[in-house]
Structure 1
Amino acid sequence: MKVSARNALKGTIKAIHTGSVNDEVLLEIAPGIEVTAIITKISAENLGLQEGKEAYAVIKASDVIISVD
């Protein structure tokens, strides 16, 4: 598979919290570093997502905002 997004972070699915419409998928990309995605329940089922499985967080954004205190 090829995608145009430049940020694809490989990780392991640490947890899936299933809701009535959407699922929250927690992906650990490095020890102690996690990315959370909210996707439709149907998409999670179609992808066959389950804890312990490898997956990618693909990030496509036109703006990245940086903030400091």
Structure 2
Amino acid sequence: MKLSTRNQLEGSVVSITRGDAMAVVKVQLAGGAIVTSSITRDAVDDLGLADGKAVTVLIKSTEVALGVN
């Protein structure tokens, strides 16, 4: 599958915290950094996500915010 998203980071799931409708998924990247994503519980199930599963984190520039003090 080809995607237009250029910011693609390979990693593996290290934790999944399920809420009523949403889930928080933490992914550890090769360098050790952790990326956190909030997705629906249905998406977790559809993707078969579980601890240790290899995933690709896709980041769209229009959905990333930065802040400084």
Say whether the fold is shared (TM-score over 0.5): yes
Question: 1:8-60 CA deviation, whole Å, 9 max, x = no partner?
Answer: 10001000001110010000003430000000000110000000010011001
Q: Work out the percentage of aligned pairs sharing the same amino acid.
A: 36
Match of 2:9 in 1: 9
Say which structure is richer in helix. Answer: 2
Say whether residues 1:32 and 2:56 are aligned partners.
no
Residues 1-69 of structure 1: matches in 2 within 5 Å? 1-62=1-62, 69=69
Is the alpha carbon distance of 1:65 and 1:25 closer, same or farther for their aligned partners in structure 2, counting shifts above 3 Å?
A: closer
Distance in 2, matches of 1:63 and 1:26, equals 17
27-36 vs 39-48, which moves further: 27-36
Distance in 1, matches of 2:55 and 2:63, equals 24
Superposition CA RMSD, Å: 1.9
Question: Normalising by structure 1, what TM-score?
Answer: 0.86
The runs of 5 or more residues in structure 2 that have no matched partner are none
Give how far 1:68 is off: 5.1
Structure 1 runs (4+) deviating above 2 angstroms are 62-69
Question: Normalising by structure 2, what TM-score?
Answer: 0.86
